[in-house]
Chain A
Amino acid sequence: MNIRVVFCTHDTTGLAIRERLAFSGPERCRSAYLELQARFPGTEMVILSTCNRIELYFASDTRGNLPTHEDIARFLSEFHQVPLDDFFGDLRHEAEREAVRHLFLVACSLDSMVLGEAQIVNQIKEAYQRAADCDAVGPITHQLFQSAMSIGGKVRTETKLSEGRISIASVAVGEFGKSIFERFDNKTVLILGAGEMAEETLRYLKEEGVRDILIANRNFERGADLAEKWGGRPISFRDWESYLGKADVIVSTTGATEPIITAKRFQELRRQPQSQKPLFILDLGAPRDFDPSISDIDENVFLYDIDDLEQTCARNRKARTGEIDKAVVLVEQATQQFMHDFYHRATGPVVQQLRETWHTIGRQELDRLFKKLEHLNDEDRQQIEATISRIVNKLLHPPLETIKHHSREGTPHTLLETVKQLFGLSE
C-alpha cells in the first residue's frame, strides 16, 4: 500500500497563502481533480480544503505510482498560479502510517484550531463525496476515509473532547442564556455598541430564534448598518434607558471608560412593574459598562461580564485539553488496526495461493497413491489424508509466519515477490 498526504494548515501556513491555495467551490475542485487525474493516472486522490487547511491525499496499490511531494507542490503552484517559493517551505508531507495517522488526528479535531470542533467530520465527509463524484477515489481511499469518519465519531462519543463551549459568546448564550429562558423567539434583545463581540453574540442569539433586535450605538450609522445586517432596529444611544423595561437580553460592548448606568439609576428603572421580568445582561465591555452591584438589585437580574464568562470558557478548554491523551490513544489504536487490516489484505492473495497450490499437490499425490493401493479401507485412507495435510501445513508454517511477521510494518513487497518466484505462484 502507498498513501501520501501533502498539506498546509493553520499551524504551518499563514491565512494569506492558505486563501490562495484553497480549492473553493465545487467547480474549482472538479477542475483540480481533472488536472490531477491527467497528471497522475491510476492514483486515488481526495482533496480536503477548508478555511484552516488544504490537504491532498493520494493512494495507490502499485509501488512507485504516487506523486512526490515536489510533484504536488508543482501542481499547486501551476493550478493556483502561485509562485512555488511563496509556499513550498510551508508544505508538509507524510506517507504510509503517518499519513493515515494524520488524517485520523484531523478527523478527531485534534489538529483543529478549536479543539473538539465538530465541523471537521462533515468537511471530511463532503471532501470524500466530492472526490467520489469526480471518480477520484478507490478501495484504499474508501477504507481510509470511512475509517477516519468512524474514528472521528468514536472519539466524540468516548471522550469529552467536544463537551462544553469555549467561546465567550457561545458560553454566554448556550450556558447561561438558555438556562434562563425557554425560548428566544419572543424575547427582545438590546445591543449597546456595535463591536465584533456584540455581533458574534448576536449570531448565536439569532440561531436561537431571536427576532426583535434593538441596536443602540454612539455612531448611529454604524448601528444602523449592523441592524440592517441582522434584521434589527437602530435606536438612538441617548434613549437606550427607555428600552430597559422592554428588553429581555442586553448585550453591551460600548467601549466606554466608565459604567454607562449606575446601580441607583438601574434600580429606579427596575421599580416599574413591567420592568421586573427576568433580564439577562451580557456586559462584554472592558472596562465594564454595567456596575457589578446591579446583579444584586433583584432576583431576576442576571449580569455577566467578560471575566465571568472567560472563567467558564477556560474551564471548558481545560476539560477538553485533559481529554487529548485519551483521544490520541484511540487514534493510535485505529491507525494500528487500519494498517494491520490493510497489510493483511495485501498479503492475503499470496498466502491463499500458496496454501491452495500446496494442498492441491498433496491431493493429487494422494489420488495417485489411492489408485495404486486399492485394498485400503476408508479408515486407512482418512489416516493418510490427515497425515499429508499435517505435513503440508507444517511445511507452510515457516513461510507464512515470515510473511505475517514482515507485514506488521508495511506491505513486504520484496518478500512477496520472492515467495512468488520460489514457489512458482502466478501474478
Chain B
Amino acid sequence: MQAQLFCFLASYSVAFVLELARLWESRVWLRWGSLGFTAAGLAAQAWYLVARSHAAQLPPLLASMHDWLLVSALLLVSAYFIYAVLNFRLRGTTSLGLFVLPLALAIVGGATLVRDSPNRLLETARFWKMLHAGSLVIGITGVLIGFLLSLMYLLQHRRLKQKVQLQRGISLPPLAALARYNRWMVIFSVPMLTLGLVTGFVLVVQAKRAAAPFTWSDPIVLGFSVVWIGMVALFGWLIRSQPNHGRNVALLTAWAFGFLIVTLVGLQVLVSVTGLPSQHGSLPADNVIKLVGFEQQIEMQP
C-alpha cells in the first residue's frame, strides 16, 4: 500500500517538475509529459483508494480521514486534468498545473500525517454518514478550487495594475473568467459545506440515541463550525455585493478558504498527534474500542 501512495505522490511530483520546467522551455512535449504523469498519478491514486476500500470493507469516504483527504485530492486533480485536456490550447489554461499540483501534493502529504486506520463508528447509519462525508468532501474540493482561483485572480490583477508581464511560461485566465468561476465556487461550496454540517448534527442526535459518547468538544466539529459561520457570512456578502468587486471577492475567498483548509487539515493532524477525542477517523487504535457502537460492544463480549 505504501508503495502505491509513493507512486502517485511521485507521479504528481514529476508532473509538477515538468510544469516548472515549462517556465524556462515552453515545449509542448513538456505539457503532454506533465499531463501524462498527472493521469498516471490519478490512476494510481484511484487504485490505491479502491484497494484500501476493499481491505477495510468500507467506501473510501467512510474509511478514515486518510482516505477522505485522498478523495479530496483525487477530485481536485481530476477536475484540473479534465479541464486542462479539454482546453489544451485555450489561452490562460496552460499554467493551471503550477497552482493545482502543489496543493494536491500538500493534501496527499497531509494524508500521510493523519491516522489511516478504519473508523468502525462509521459502519452504522451509513446513509447519513455517506451524505455527511460526501457533501463535505465535495464542498471542500470546491473550497480548494476556489482558493486556487482566488490566488490566480489576485496574481493576474496585481500584474495588470502594475502593467507588467507574467514570468515567461506562465499564462493565466482573464480576470473576468477568474471572477466568474470564483463566485460560482463560493455559491457551490457553502451550501455543500452546510449540508455536511447539518447531516453531521443529525448523526450527533443518532449517536446520542445509540448511547455513543459524543462530545460537543470534538475539536474538529468545533473548528469546522466556527469556520462555517465565517463561510456563510462570506456567502451572504457575496450574494448582496456588486458583481464587479472581483478583487475583494478574491481576497476574501482566498483568506476564508485558506483558513478553512488550514483549520481542517491542522485539526486532523492535531488530533492524530495529540490523541484528542474525536469521532472523525483519527482515533488512536485503543480508543476506537471504547467508542464503537453499542452493537459492536456486545459482539466483543465473550
Contact = CB atoms under 8 A, between A and B. Distances in A.
A178 B174 contact: yes
Interface string B24-47: 001000000000000000000000
A278 B175 contact: yes
Nearest to B166: A179
A315 B164 CA distance: 10
Contacts of A182: 173-174, 176-177, 180
A295 B165 contact: no
B242 interface: yes
Contacts of B172: 179
Contacts of B180: 182
A299 B174 contact: no
A181 interface: yes
Interface stretch (A61-69, A227-235, A236-244, A300-308): A300-308
A36 B32 CA distance: 49
Interface in B241-273: 242, 244-248
A278 B156 contact: no
Nearest to A300: B244
A299 B250 CA distance: 12
A178 B177 CA distance: 11
Contacts of B245: 299
A315 B247 contact: no
Given A180-B175, A181-B176, A277-B244, A175 B165 contact: yes
Contact of B242 (A179, A276, A311): A276
Interface of A: 160, 163, 175-176, 178-182, 273, 276-278, 295, 299-300, 302, 304, 308, 311-312, 315, 319
Given A277-B244, A300-B244, A180 B26 contact: no
Nearest to A277: B244
Nearest to B25: A160
Given A181-B176, A182-B174, A308 B242 contact: no
Contact of B26 (A160, A178, A315): A160
A299 B247 contact: yes
A312 B160 contact: no
B65 to A, nearest CB: 39
Contacts of B244: 276-278, 300
Nearest to B159: A179
B174 A302 contact: no
Interface of B: 26, 91-92, 156-157, 159-161, 163-165, 168, 172-177, 180, 242, 244-248
A179 B244 CA distance: 16
Contact of B174 (A163, A180, A276, A295): A180
A132 to B, nearest CB: 31
A179 B26 contact: no
Contacts of B156: 179
B160 A176 contact: yes
Contact of B161 (A163, A181, A295): A295
A175 B164 CA distance: 9
22 contacts: A160-B26, A176-B160, A179-B156, A179-B159, A179-B160, A179-B174, A179-B175, A180-B176, A181-B174, A181-B175, A181-B176, A273-B242, A276-B242, A276-B244, A277-B244, A299-B161, A300-B246, A308-B163, A311-B163, A312-B163, A312-B164, A315-B165
B238 to A, nearest CB: 16
A182 B176 CA distance: 6
A176 B176 CA distance: 13
Contacts of B157: 299
Nearest to B178: A182
Contacts of B161: 295, 299, 302
Contacts of B246: 278, 299-300
Contacts of A273: 242
Contact of B176 (A160, A163, A278): A278
A304 B26 CA distance: 28
A185 to B, nearest CB: 13
Interface centre among A163, A176, A179, A278 (most CB of B within 10 A): A179
Nearest to B251: A299
Contacts of B164: 312
Contacts of B92: 179
A207 to B, nearest CB: 14
Contacts of B177: 182
Contacts of A178: 91, 174
A319 B26 CA distance: 14
A302 B91 contact: no
A297 to B, nearest CB: 12
Contacts of A312: 163-165
B244 to A, nearest CB: 5
Top 7 closest pairs, chain A to chain B, by CB: A308-B163, A299-B247, A182-B176, A182-B177, A276-B244, A277-B244, A182-B174
A277 B176 CA distance: 10
Contacts of A295: 161
Given A181-B174, A299-B248, A302-B161, 20 more contacts: A160-B26, A163-B26, A176-B160, A179-B160, A179-B174, A179-B175, A180-B160, A180-B174, A180-B175, A180-B176, A181-B176, A277-B244, A299-B157, A299-B245, A300-B247, A302-B160, A304-B163, A311-B163, A312-B163, A312-B165
Contacts of B242: 273, 276
Contacts of B174: 178-182
B92 to A, nearest CB: 8
Interface centre among B161, B177, B246 (most CB of A within 10 A): B161
Interface centre among B163, B172, B176, B177 (most CB of A within 10 A): B163
B32 to A, nearest CB: 14
A277 B26 CA distance: 34
Nearest to B163: A308
A266 B164 CA distance: 24
Contacts of A175: 165
A311 B91 CA distance: 22
